[in-house]
Structure 1
Amino acid sequence: MPIKSLHIQHIRNVADVRLDPSPRINIIHGDNGSGKTSLLEGIHFLGLTRSFRTTQIRHLVQSGQDACLVFAQVQALPGAPALPLGVERRLDGEVRVRHAGQSIELSELAQLLPLQVIDSDTFLLLEGSPSIRRQFIDWGVFHSDRSFIQLWRGFRRVLKQRNSLLKCGKIDPRLRRIWDQEFVAYAEQMTQLREQYIELLKPDFEATLGRLLGGVAVELRFSPGWDRKTPLDQLLEEGLARDLKQGFTGAGPQRADLRVRADGHNAAERLSRGQKKLVVSALKLAQGALFYRLNNRPCIYLIDDLPSELDEQHCRLFCQFLEETSNQCFITCVDPAALDGIWLPQTDVSRFRVDAGKLSHAD
């Protein structure tokens, strides 16, 4: 299991909490505002040095403290020994990440602790901006191909430089061609990996959605961010005047998107609210299943207030999917009875209660 023990300090109203979680299902219940979601934020912080609820560290760190810290014993691979992992972030911006006594980069940390978050904002995956869907795609590509992170970093560097030149208003043609050549090279490689990933994801998504939402045809289509009928270097040349006017690059993988179609129409406009929730759930479950198949190790699912997001029937189906996998899951709810009677007797389920930031075992 990925997390064998967990120690969270100074995250929101959680001053000091220790947790020995189940390797499979962990149910955390308590009243609204008790600190349930803060515990999930602590695990997310451990894997990515940030919260999934805010980008401002000052909102995450407990009032009156100058830093937050999460420490854990983490088993990176099945059968491997558990090793210490610690993440500290201070209000002044300093971030420290240590694994097995060594400092590691954020990309190494993300690979070590693959996290899937499902909360009320996750359902913006259909209705939100393309950037949200790009993040979904790139999470999968990052964990399926080790070369992607370097391509992504290289492309961001080139895009930033090209946009900087565009904002100046005048670009030396020779200099622009050099940057455009790099831009196209990175764009083509990134796009190929993204396309390959979506094709790998489709069978898992279709199988999962078939069980959650039978009778509704939903199709995934990848949009690379430009019209592939025309070479990208030609599009950059033809769009230069527009790009200069706007001050940024209009075509390229920075505009990629995942198009989700239901019966030939935009799923966000075609489906009911309940159906959208099931489509997003299927996307997240399929991504975890594909991760396991490609990496031979599970994810960690952080699921905030699951019963409020799905009706009773589909909540049960969702939990059955989780039960069939090897993922370690942390699920919050207000009423623990909503998740009773779902799990098989042999499933390792631990229950915890949170009151005013303090944790107790509820078994």
Structure 2
Amino acid sequence: MPSLPPRTTKAASATAGIKSTTATPRRTKKKPARRNRSFLWQLFKILFVTGFAFVTVFAGWFYLTPSGKVYRYMLADSLITTQHREWAKYVIGEKALRERVAQYVKQFEDMGEERDTHTIPANGEGDTGDEGQEKLTSIEEVDGEGFHGFLLTVRDPKKIRLVVPNKKGRGERVTSMVKRTGAIAGVNAGGFADPNWKGNGFKPIGIVISGGKIYYDGLGNKNSVQIVGIDKNGKMLAGKYSVKELMELGISEAVSFSPRIIVNGKGLIPNRSQGWGVAPRSVMAQREDGAIMFLLIDGRQPGYSIGATLYDAQEILLEHGAVIAANLDGGSSTVLVDENGEIVNKPSASSGERYLPTAFLVFEDPDSVDIPNIWEGMKPSEIDAGKW
């Protein structure tokens, strides 16, 4: 009698059949993955070609067209005002960078030559209208293309004093100066030696005058210097002067900085492309009625405020009636402090606020404020600007 096939043979055959049917779907699942990889590769190639074409067209416009050149030099100017000045050579070339810097130095010197002839009322107090007659200061926000800032108006210019640090070897934050002296407002003022952009804020550039007295003289052999300040009658002075001229004019508060951008009611910067790039700005101005204005524009903060050119600042101040205006130390030094000692704007410095050698502060009674000369008996050559 023939033997029957073992049961296990059919079972194994069935099992093998099951395995065979289940293996087929696994093979078909690999095909969509290959198609996905192919699709992603095609997408990558399209994006790469599109990006390459865009970069090529942009580079052609940026480097070969007149309109591109305007923006290229504005970018270079913006880099020149930062700690990465050398990067500008990749935008306009090393030779053009040297020429650009030299051009601005000469331009700023020339802008300080014309003598200012503006006058203010004898009492030196600006008219702010019925509602603001008794308010010494007011702050308003200003906006423009890509920037946001604030305009501090001081009705009586004789209420402004130049304040300096109270400790040797280190600058002082404006918030500290305001709280320490009881001021009702304050802004950054003059420039200072800043080695590697990490200076201690204690060594001013040029000259510092407070209360009609020379606190610091770093002119060396120079006979004149660009200054921004106020005389004893409350009239703003800005431009190129010798120390002797300043004393004869009755200077009261002054720091060295430039350029002057408005004189005798007219703007000196012809257009935005010659406005020294986009950056945070601090500018001091005066109206015909005597009121002093401080314009502070934030910058280097995408999404909030990139910054403004000096031409932008000039136009804002002309719209507000300025007859004279001059640049102060802007950039990461730009700061506006209110009477509570709080920062109003958004400084671009990583620390939020820098240590500075000078600040213009507003007081109800400036004559009662004692401002010792922290540099008395010191020689500029003895000050280490980088030592903390």
Q: TM-score range by the shorter chain?
A: under 0.3
Q: Please state which structure has a larger fraction of its residues in helix.
A: 1
TM-score by length of 2: 0.21
Q: Which has the higher contact order (CA 8 A, sep 6+)?
A: 1
Whichever of the two has the greater Rg, that structure is 2
